[in-house]
Amino acid sequence: MGNAVILAAGKGTRMISKHAKVMQKVLGEPMIGHIADHLENAGIDRIVTVVGYKGEEIREYLGTRSEYAVQEPQLGSGHAVMMADALKNEEGKTLIVNGDCPLISAETYKEFLNESEGYDLTVLTMVCEDPGSYGRIIRDKNGDFLRITEFKDCNEEEKKITEVNAGIYCADNQLLWKYLPEIRNENAQKEYYVTDLVQIFLSHGKKIGAVIAKDPDEMMGINDRKMLADANTWLKHKVNERLMKEGVTLIDPEHTYISKDAKIGKDTVIYPNVVMEGHVTIGEDCVITSGSYLRDAKIGDSCTVDASEITDSEIAEETTVGPDSHLRNGCKIGAKCRIGNFVELKNTTFGYNTKCAHLTYVGDAEVGSKVNFGCGVVTVNYDGKHKFRTVIDDGAFIGSNVNLVAPVHIGKKALLAAGSTITEDVPDGGMGIGRVRQSNKEGFGEKYLNK
């Protein structure tokens, strides 16, 4: 239960990009995706994302996970919050979250919400060795929280303060909407700062709090490419440490890039320079070698993926893929299959123990169990306008260099002669042969070579 506003309308000038800043990826997922994941996991069930610069990219990516408010022009973070007035009538607390803080975990949000109990407005702060250009937390002699001063508005003394604003706020929703109109833009940047709410709440005698976060790195607000790289490195270490604790061998965790929610079974070994993005699940006792790229993939126990790419696809236990193969667009490969070198499979299913070891393309096909593909088989699935399906039943043997011109159906235990171009169905147990008959010319070769 709870509401959140994500501020994501800013141009992100410092990123030097033609995309919305919050669409920049950290370990393969846009920053805004990380934030939505964490807020959802913290129990927030109503999210309003304030979009502006390249807002359509954000809407397309987040879809129905969020509602949207448009901020045009972008007059500052406080002005951005004002746009989320769809939340005006909600009761309880509202979290306000900068869209460029993707590393803050659900646990931190939950703790922050708990610690906000009893306050009308709370700010998440952090203490940094190098506080850079973050807004400074100004406290009085007794340590009571007074206001936030943006770096550009700080005097030399204030610039030395190491406690800074992380850009995460929790406000009583009714008071928030009451006081938002009081924000003014009388500051160095002529912007409406959300941070001014602190002083405004205080001036009305409301209770304000500042909660210091345990890990300042997690609070990182990503403004430029350097910080984007730092965020990648930080999250990579966190994910890789979790996986190692769970019994996964990472030969070189410094050079292994695995998405934050990946589930990997124990005794699986991951070589350096492996990248996994999106939703990846891998069983136990697998080996994933260098150069492999997995996105939205499910791998059973005891599989090998050797320098191969698997996207939007599943392989069952004891199957081997690669080196240098590519499975994509909804492939479902059964157990104990062998997909060898330079094989591309697209939108294709294999049953149990089917083998396709060399230089082959199978697309839009339904292949049964114990089928054997020779080298260089091609499903001809596309006529330039439409895609057609190939069906190959259990136990069929597809000779080398066969073209299967779809739609075509190869029956159980059928045999296709090497080099055939198959344009018609072959019945169960039959043999399909479709190639030009060979003729030999006596002595012709020797004569030619001696010329």
Active site residues per annotation? 358
The answer to whether residue 10 forms part of the interface with ligand UD1 (CB under 6 A) is: yes
The CB density around residue 170, as the number of other CB atoms within 10 Å, is 27
Helix, strand or coil for residue 112?
A: helix
Select the span of 106-114, 187-195, 257-265, 401-409 touching ligand UD1 (CB under 6 A): 187-195
Dihedral class, residue 330 (left if φ above 0, else alpha if ψ from -120 to 50, else beta):
left
User: Among residues 220 and 416, whose Cβ is nearest to Ca ion?
Assistant: 220
The answer to whether residue 125 forms part of the interface with ligand UD1 (CB under 6 A) is: no
The answer to whether residue 7 forms part of the interface with ligand UD1 (CB under 6 A) is: yes
- At 177, the amino acid letter reads W
Report the sign of the C-alpha dihedral through residues 8, 11, 16, 19, in that order: positive
User: Among residues 221 and 334, whose Cβ is nearest to Ca ion?
Assistant: 221
* Phi/psi of residue 106, nearest 5 degrees: -60, -40
Site for ligand UD1 in 149-178 (CB under 6 A): 150, 164-167
Residue 346 is encoded by which pair of tokens?
Answer: 């697209």
- Closest to 421 in 3D by CA, of 413, 433, 411: 433
User: Among residues 98 and 347, whose Cβ is nearest to Ca ion?
Assistant: 98
- For 64, residues 6+ apart whose C-beta sits below 8 A from its C-beta are none
Select the span of 188-196, 205-213, 244-252, 329-337 touching ligand UD1 (CB under 6 A): 188-196
DSSP-assigned beta bridge partners for residue 350: 333, 367
* Least distance CB 135 / Ca ion (angstroms): 10
Give me the half-sphere count of Cα atoms (radius 13 Å) on the Cβ side of residue 146: 9
Binding mask 223-252 for ligand UD1 (x = CB under 6 A): x-----------------------------
Task: Report the residue count for the chain.
Answer: 451
Rounded to whole angstroms, the Cα distance separating 142 from 123 reads 18
Specify burial of residue 182 (Cβ count, 10 A radius: 0-12, 13-18, 19+).
middle
User: Among residues 38 and 336, whose Cβ is nearest to Ca ion?
Assistant: 38
The answer to whether residue 211 forms part of the interface with ligand UD1 (CB under 6 A) is: no
* Least distance CB 192 / ligand UD1 (angstroms): 8
Residue 223 is encoded by which pair of tokens?
Answer: 């403004």
- Residues in the interface with ligand UD1 (CB under 6 A) total 29
End-to-end CA distance of the chain: 88
- Residue 323 to residues 280, 310, 314, 316, 428: CA-CA distances in angstroms? 20, 12, 17, 18, 33
User: Among residues 77 and 381, whose Cβ is nearest to ligand UD1?
Assistant: 77
**Contacting residue, 38, 54, 79, 295, with ligand UD1 by CB under 6 A:** 79
The answer to whether residue 221 forms part of the interface with Ca ion (CB under 5 A) is: yes
The answer to whether residue 131 forms part of the interface with ligand UD1 (CB under 6 A) is: no
User: Among residues 91 and 186, whose Cβ is nearest to ligand UD1?
Assistant: 186
The answer to whether residue 100 forms part of the interface with Ca ion (CB under 5 A) is: yes
Q: Which residues bind Ca ion (CB under 5 A)?
A: 100, 221, 223
Q: Which residues here bind ligand UD1, judged by CB under 6 A?
A: 7-10, 21, 50, 71, 74-77, 79-80, 98-100, 134-135, 148, 150, 164-167, 193-195, 221, 223
